Structure 1
Amino acid sequence: MALVSALAVGVGGAIGAVTRYAVSLAVERRSLDTFVVNVSGSLLIGVVLGSDIGGPIALGLAVGFCGAFTTFSSFAVETVRLAEDEYRVAAVFYAVGTLVAALVAVLAGFAVAGSNAV
């Protein structure tokens, strides 16, 4: 079971990383692409964790795909860059907005999955 779980995380991670890169190419706007992946990834992880999905499939989706698809480090760098470029108010709104939107997305994912986890 451990090998299957590890493979599921690896495959999910590979797909998540490629999907993340594809979104950055499609959106082509600094910060917006990271916002999109972080919020949509939060929605997906809410659906996965709020549903009856379990075992290697859940690990592959939640840990692998969502872990590679979403990106806190890029979010942090983009927030700092906005502030360094003299867009300090925008940096604050981006940081707070991303956090609020991601939390709401997780809750929405739970709701979509029919979970009463919260």
Structure 2
Amino acid sequence: MNWLLVLAGGMLGAPLRYLTDRAVQSRHTTGFPWGTFTANMTGSLLLGFLTGAALSSHAMLFLATGLCGALTTYSTFSYETLTLSRTGAGVHTIANALGSVLAGLGAAYVGLALAQSLLG
């Protein structure tokens, strides 16, 4: 049963990540991976909010593990950072690596604080 919840959430999160990436990236001509960055920050914010909302374990499997797990992508972030590095885009490489980690933590914290202020 639990794996079905994760699967269902992932079936929503994966296309949402792809569509977010394509929509954002189509509006930028820089070499920076804004689409992945946006999907990861959105997922981090949502995961922080869900954590603060103290939902049931079934809801967390569906929303946090499934949806947010598929929406955010460490593998694409890693690949894009490596690609930036290989192409000599040093500033973009550092900005993506540090910015993603720091902004992701910040987004999760904001989501948690938002949930606590709205729901608690």
How does the TM-score come out when normalised to structure 1? Answer: 0.89
Task: Determine the structure 2 residue equivalent to 1:27.
Answer: 24
| From 82, 86, 93, the counterpart of 1:80 | 82
Distance in 2 (alpha carbons) for counterparts of 1:25 and 1:104: 24
Task: Determine the structure 1 residue equivalent to 2:42.
Answer: 40
- Tell me how many residue pairs correspond in the alignment: 112
Gap regions ≥5 residues in structure 1: none
- What is the CA deviation profile of residues 59-97 of structure 1, one whole-angstrom value per residue up to 9, with x for unaligned ones? 100000011110001101111111111111220111101
Distance in 2 (alpha carbons) for counterparts of 1:110 and 1:78: 28
Distance in 1 (alpha carbons) for counterparts of 2:18 and 2:91: 28
Distance in 2 (alpha carbons) for counterparts of 1:47 and 1:86: 37
Percentage identity across paired residues of the two chains: 38
Q: Which runs of structure 1 show a deviation greater than 3 angstroms over 4 or more consecutive aligned residues? A: none
Gap regions ≥5 residues in structure 2: none
What is the SS of the residue equivalent to 2:54? coil
Amino acid at match of 1:6: W
Is residue 10–residue 70 contact of structure 2 (8 Å, CA) maintained in 1? yes
RMSD of aligned Cα (Å)? 1.4
Task: Determine the structure 1 residue equivalent to 2:3.
Answer: 6
Distance in 2 (alpha carbons) for counterparts of 1:54 and 1:47: 14
Distance in 2 (alpha carbons) for counterparts of 1:101 and 1:54: 27
Amino acid at match of 1:89: V
Distance in 1 (alpha carbons) for counterparts of 2:90 and 2:24: 23
Distance in 2 (alpha carbons) for counterparts of 1:89 and 1:8: 40
Task: Determine the structure 2 residue equivalent to 1:91.
Answer: 93
Distance in 1 (alpha carbons) for counterparts of 2:13 and 2:57: 18
How does the TM-score come out when normalised to structure 2? Answer: 0.87
Task: Determine the structure 1 residue equivalent to 2:12.
Answer: 15
What is the SS of the residue equivalent to 1:114? helix
Is residue 13–residue 66 contact of structure 2 (8 Å, CA) maintained in 1? yes
Amino acid at match of 1:83: S
Task: Determine the structure 1 residue equivalent to 2:56.
Answer: 54
Amino acid at match of 1:36: T
